[in-house]
Amino acid sequence: MFGAFKPTSALSGGLLWKIPWRLSAPQKLRQRRRLRRVDNIVSVLDSALQRQIQSAPATTATKGIGATQATTEELAQTAQGQRMLNAEANTPLNDRRHGRGPRQGEILSGSLPTGTATMTGDQARKMGTIKLIERWKAEMPTEAEMLPRDKYTMFDRKEKKYRKGIHSELSLAPSFDHRVLTSSELPKWTRVSQRLNPPGF
């Protein structure tokens, strides 16, 4: 009846969910804060476990409440103190890690270099560290080390440039009034830590 201007069934069936193809500036800010929060939790857990190892049965006297200046040793034990000590927050893009693999342009090595020691579970428990925290620190880049495209996009082999946004892309099914997930969505993207992408992509 309307020819070329006939409305589609998806648009005439109910609400239209308009989700842009890229994140807005506040969404990017919240994503960076989420990544930093996870990094802070990992560093706090690691420093607490390291402190637990170093603490002997003989406890040392702590400073009084009136102490205002913190030493470098005290600052190095907390994540905020480490950030204050390492003031180079803006590292160049070439120095940032690109996912799990080598940086762009580096040659992939065939095997691990000789002499690298890996911790077993018993050694990790004896040292007081958790195996998963050690694995996280070894494999996952921190928020400062990540490239911007790794923070806001993820690898997808079906996309044209092999990248898609991490945020939800939802569409309406023609015969339903509720949202239906498409194949290009990362479910619960605010809850899942998506930091690793194949090297070179």
Question: 120-139 pLDDT, tens per residue?
Answer: 555 656 665 677 888 888 88
Q: Which residues of 43-77 are buried (b: 16+ CB within 10 A; e: fewer)?
A: beebbebeeeeeeeeeeeeeeeeeeeeeeeeeeeb
Reported as a single tens digit per residue, the pLDDT across 46-62 is 888 878 777 745 444 44
Reported as a single tens digit per residue, the pLDDT across 61-90 is 444 444 457 777 777 777 777 777 775 455
Please state, in angstroms and rounded to a whole number, the distance separating the CA atoms of residues 128 and 174: 55
More confident residue, 149 or 109: 149
Reported as a single tens digit per residue, the pLDDT across 140-186 is 999 999 999 999 988 888 889 898 888 854 433 333 333 444 445 56
What is the CA 66 to chain-centroid distance, rounded?
38
Whole-number pLDDT of residue 176: 39
Residue 104 pLDDT greater than 50, yes or no: yes
Q: What is the C-alpha end-to-end distance of the chain, expressed in Å?
A: 47
Whole-number pLDDT of residue 131: 77
Whole-number pLDDT of residue 29: 95
Whole-number pLDDT of residue 52: 77
Whole-number pLDDT of residue 25: 95
Whole-number pLDDT of residue 182: 46
pLDDT above 90 covers a percentage of the chain that reads 15
Residue with tokens 């690898």: 155
Please state, in angstroms and rounded to a whole number, the distance separating the CA atoms of residues 163 and 153: 6
